[in-house]
Structure 1
Amino acid sequence: MKVNYLGPFLLADNQALAELYAKRSPPSCFLLEVSEEALPDGEVIEGDVLVVDEARSPGHDDRVVAEVEETYQLFRTHRIEERLRLLPVGGGQGRFIGPEQFIGVVVQKVRVAA
């Protein structure tokens, strides 16, 4: 599932995003928005905003963002011994990636009402 880079935290017009900013997320965090290809009844839907921490190390069953095929994509991690397999949140074939493709760990999700 593709996600779109929104940038670092800024004071936003949207109340939900302003509340996130008020929680003083670390400077290693930035925002991503879930793309329109998300399933309408999935764990994340189009327009959800994800707070991603690029300084955090992924663990088992984390939601993470990785750069695959020149786009940022959302995955769920599955630990297999010392390696992490990435499983697409929307379903599909899992994969292993190199550390240069890892972007960050999702630390919070906000459902932004239209």
Structure 2
Amino acid sequence: MVVNYLGPLVAGIDHPALRGYDVNQFAPSCYLVEIGEEAGVDGPLIEGDVLVVDEARTAQHDDLVIVDCDEEQRLYQAFRLGGSLLLIPPRDRSGSIRARQNMLRGVVVSQARRYGW
């Protein structure tokens, strides 16, 4: 699923999903992305969720990762297979790809929901 880059995570950033969030708990290597509309409005990841991504963290088995793919950033779930990663879309689980290290842009370390349903 497509994510939209919001910018680096710095103290004072104003986004509705981050109200009440202590942004100082995250490393300086973190940035924010917002999940796009293809995520839908049900499930653990929905349209408008904001993800905190650490670009310095190494992807491990079962991590959510941000990947440069076809000139856009996309969210995948990483599965370690020996020394490589298989990336699977988290929503529909079809269309897996093998990851090259230069494709990875970071590991999701936190999720914030704009609206508390």
Task: Please report the TM-score for the alignment, with normalisation by the length of structure 1.
Answer: 0.90
Partner of 2:105: 103
One-letter amino acid of the structure 2 residue matched with residue 42 of structure 1: G
CA 1:15/1:70 → structure 2, altered by over 3 Å: closer, same or farther? Answer: closer
Aligned AA (1:33): E
**1:79 Cα deviation from its structure 2 partner:** 1.3
Deviation above 6 Å: which 4+ runs of structure 1?
none
Output the CA distance in 2 between the equivalents of 1:105 and 1:77: 9
1:58 corresponds in structure 2 to: 59
SS state at 2:18 partner: helix
Q: Which amino acid aligns with 2:45?
A: V
Tell me the secondary structure at the aligned position of residue 20 of structure 1.
Answer: coil
* Identical pairs, percent: 41
Tell me the C-alpha RMSD between the 2 structures. Answer: 1.8
Deviates more, 1:34-43 or 1:59-68: 34-43
SS in 2 for 1:100: helix
Unmatched segments (≥5 aa) in structure 2:
none
Q: Which amino acid aligns with 1:100?
A: N
Distance 1:16 1:45 in 2: 12
